Amino acid sequence: MSAQPVNPNLPPDHVTVFIDGVEMAAPKGSMIIHAADKAGIPIPRFCYHEKLPIAANCRMCLVDTEIGGRAAPKPSPACATPVMDGMKVFTRNEKALKAQRNVMEFLLINHPLDCPICDQGGECELQDLSLGYGRSVGRFVERKRVVPDEDLGPLVATEMTRCIQCTRCVRFTAEIAGTYELGGMQRGENLQIGTYDGQPLMTELSGNVIDVCPVGALTNKVYRFKARPWELIARPSLGYHDALGSNLFHHVRRGELLRSVPRDNEAVNECWLSDRDRYAHEGLLADDRAAVPLLRDGDGFREASWDEALDAAARILRESAGDDLGVLVHPATSNEEGALLARLADGLGSRHLDHRIGQLDLSDGAQAQAFAMPVAEIEQADAIVIVGSNLRHEVPLLHQRVRKAAKRGARVHVVNPVDFDFTFAVASKHIVPPAQLAAALDGVDLGDAGNVAVIVGGVAENGPHAAAIRKAAAAFAAAKNAKLCRIPQGANALGLARHGVLPAGLDAQAMLRQPRKAYVLYGIEPGLDFADQQAALKALGGARVVAFSQFACTSTRAVADVILPIGALPEIDATLTNLDGRDQQAVAAAKLPGQARPGWRVLRALGGALALPGFEFTDLDGLRAGMAPVAVQVAAGSAAPAAGNGLQVAASQAIYRVDAVVRRSHALQAHPLNAGPHASLNPADAAAAGLAQGAMAKFSTAAGTATLQVLLDARVAPGCVWLESGHGATAPLLAATTLEVARA
């Protein structure tokens, strides 16, 4: 072959390749399958996946190649054969088709005839390709092999007899999730894919093995046997359990939401989805869904019509307008609802409006801000500093981006009160009690890194030392020319801040410590969503409360006078703003339960009943047309309680207890990552208190006491206790700066 390029006008890093007679340019080092996909020329495949490392073990993508007029002696795998200048590729000639058909015949030797009962039926890659490349009659009469199934936990169902050993799931857990939980065992015809130790999948991204599996070996255990793909309608929506706002589809049949799957968006979640976003929809079917307006009747509630309930709510708000009214909003509330809540508070003369219900220290008037480095660019960073965050549980797919950066060679530095688990190597660790996090930043050495991201998470943002940590992180970022990325504390905290759901008066903590005569609660489960549960329940219990709620739960019934049932995000049209500042729209998917209504409709009706300005629109388009960012001057707010004697409190969100919907998903609650309420102590601190592994201990604060099981964990910094929020048992302790511990 001539040393001269076929096309001298191409860039030096490209070559000319001919695929089925079509001339095209392809980057040097890329594979034939990349060039063919770019040109829209189909090549069958099973093991190849654009996001996974190349394995070349299914051989379905065999093609015929010719270089310099000489044909290759045998077919080549398109996924693992680099393009060469002047190469000719034939994907549909007799040699290629014969090879592909032979591979398909071998794959089907042991595959069971399960299509009528297989959940993958109708969207199965093996079904699709066997139609085009399979024989109508099998030539093998030997008995098919049977592979025993493993229990991979409550999320992923297995039928491993169907497995074709493409190893996509193995490569996903190894390279993307970073947990290395699946692998191949034995050899030859005895090869099996499994966990070896028989343990459930522990990665927070385990549901993605369902998506990458090209057959029915790995399926959705919650969705199993419920529907066929052709019965479902796909509605574009968003994940609303963290601030990333993962793009997804809800699959619905006659108004019933049956499953959630990822929707590709390279700038946000790529093609992946966290288990929390995938399985949380199960919580929408909880027994305590609010499905009809309720009015307090003595010690209980009675059902009411919408007109009667709105009249009662309007009467409470009218009688408590002005300084006597506080409006508290869940940080996952949509922009449309947030804009109307801001209008409602303004129309009633209340300056006490806030969505920062989970944050203890608001003394610096902090509010959510967009990432200075877009999440898609974080994987290109040279160095990343993680401050006060159990990132893997807080925003799983942001953690995955950091893993990609670390695999590229980025140095990751951690400043935390607990040595949380990450799936990447850490260059330096500073594990110190919460009060020392701000000072510990000074010890981080970035070397000569030029592209640096500083990620500040929920352990820092929600803790009693948040203001000092935010100040130190901003100063560190400015001094190191780094990009500051503070994770918004709530799926739409940034959008609500932009649309004026912030106080010109008392902030969320001050509203509860200085009780108002009446409150509006929006989307909040009072018993678990507040940073200071004791102050919240005491203040709400002594006031008149109008609760807009998805759930008529015990804690809502304990404080509310009126319960107005509203839809959750999968049931309404809505806009959320993610941590990049990107506005994203969700479309209503599931049917609203009973008489529940979209929140914006209920707010419009209530605003109309109160004759307030700004509620004259008639539809969602009219509402959106009148929405615009609002600048609110937030003054310095509440500080956390002063530190006392004892152990410092380091609190993080339990991964599957972050909000009311997730807490009601049976599958997620059954997952081993949902460890239940407990307190983790450094072994030295436990020994000083006379506590052994598994012992019950009494933890005391000025706000209350709790009895919890003690777990000894050397990852916890000496001098502090690690608690997870979202549990009723730990709630009395989360607002404290320090606590005392003694044997129960």
Residue 350: burial class (beta carbons within 10 Å; 0-12, 13-18, 19+): buried
Note the pLDDT of residue 497: 96
What is the pLDDT at residue 619? 94
pLDDT score of 1 more than 50: no
Tokens 């701000």 locate to 438
For β-strands 383-387 and 353-354, DSSP reports them as unpaired
| Overall domain count for the chain | 5
pTM of the model: 0.95
135 and 271 in a common domain: yes
**Shared domain check, 406 and 353:** no
Per-residue pLDDT reduced to its tens digit, 288-345: 999 999 999 988 999 999 999 999 999 999 999 999 999 999 999 999 999 999 999 9
Tell me, yes or no, whether 400 lies in a domain: yes
Model pLDDT, residue 244: 97
| Residues 316 and 345 reside in one and the same domain | yes
User: Which whole number is the average pLDDT over 672-693?
Assistant: 95
Cβ count within 10 A of residue 364? 15
Give the CATH number of the domain where residue 536 resides: 3.40.50.740
DSSP code, position 297: E
What is the per-residue pLDDT for 66? 95
User: Which residue carries 């995938």 as its tokens?
Assistant: 278
Mean pLDDT of 467-485: 97
CATH of the domain at 261: 3.30.70.20
Q: What's the pLDDT at 629?
A: 86
In-domain check, residue 84? yes
Give percent of the chain with pLDDT exceeding 70: 100
Last residue of a domain, one of 285, 315, 335: 285
Judgement on whether residues 571 and 690 belong to the same structural domain of the protein: no
336 occurs within a structural domain: yes
Digit-coded pLDDT (tens) for 354-374: 999 999 999 999 999 999 999
Domain membership of residue 4 (yes or no) is no
Average pLDDT over residues 13-33: 94
- Rounded to whole angstroms, the Cα distance separating 631 from 479 reads 28
Confidence of residue 645 (pLDDT cuts 50, 70, 90): confident
390 plus 446 within the same structural domain: yes
What's the average model confidence in pLDDT over 28-35? 95
Could you tell me the CATH number of the domain that includes residue 412?
A: 3.40.228.10
Residue 370 lies in a domain: no
DSSP designation for 603: H
Average pLDDT over residues 99-124: 93
Residue 313 lies in a domain: yes
* Judgement on whether residues 211 and 305 belong to the same structural domain of the protein: no
pLDDT, mean of residues 697-713: 91
63 and 156 fall within a common domain: no
Q: Is the CB of residue 107 less than 8 Å from the CB of residue 60?
A: yes
Name the pLDDT band for 3 (thresholds 50, 70, 90). low
Q: How far apart are CA 311 and CA 185, in angstroms?
A: 67
What pLDDT was estimated at residue 140?
Answer: 86
| pLDDT tens-place string over residues 608-631 | 999 999 999 999 999 999 998 888
Buried b (16+ CB within 10 A) or exposed e, 133-155: bbeeeeeeeeeeeebeebebbbb
Choosing from 56, 83, 107, the residue where a domain stops is 107
Please say whether the beta carbons of 171 and 55 come within 8 A.
yes
Do 123 and 103 fall within a single domain? no
In whole angstroms, give the CA distance from residue 367 to residue 344.
21
554: Cα separation from own chain's centroid:
27
Distance CA 716, CA 247 (A): 35
Average pLDDT, the chain: 94
User: Could you tell me if 352 and 497 lie in one domain?
Assistant: yes
Task: Please state whether beta strands 518-522 and 544-549 pair in parallel, antiparallel, or not at all (unpaired).
Answer: parallel
**With 70 as the cut, is the pLDDT of residue 434 above it?**
yes
Same domain (yes/no): 470, 503: no
Give pLDDT tens digits for 135-163: 888 888 889 999 999 999 999 999 999 99
Tell me: do 482 and 520 sit in the same domain. no
Per-residue pLDDT band at 703 (split at 50, 70, 90): confident
What is the C-alpha separation between 568 and 560, in angstroms, rounded?
19
398 contacts 378 by C-beta, under 8 angstroms: yes
Which pair of structure tokens corresponds to residue 197?
Answer: 């130790």
Note whether 425 and 237 are within 8 A (CB).
Answer: no
Specify whether 316 is located in the same domain as 260.
no
Q: Say if residue 98's pLDDT is above 70.
A: yes
Which of 432, 462, 486 terminates a domain? The answer is: 486
Length of the chain: 744
Segments forming the whole domain that contains residue 61? 14-107
Taking the C-alpha atoms of residue 296 and residue 557, their distance in angstroms, rounded to an integer, is: 8
Shortest CA distance to 587 belongs to which of 200, 251, 297, 279?
A: 251
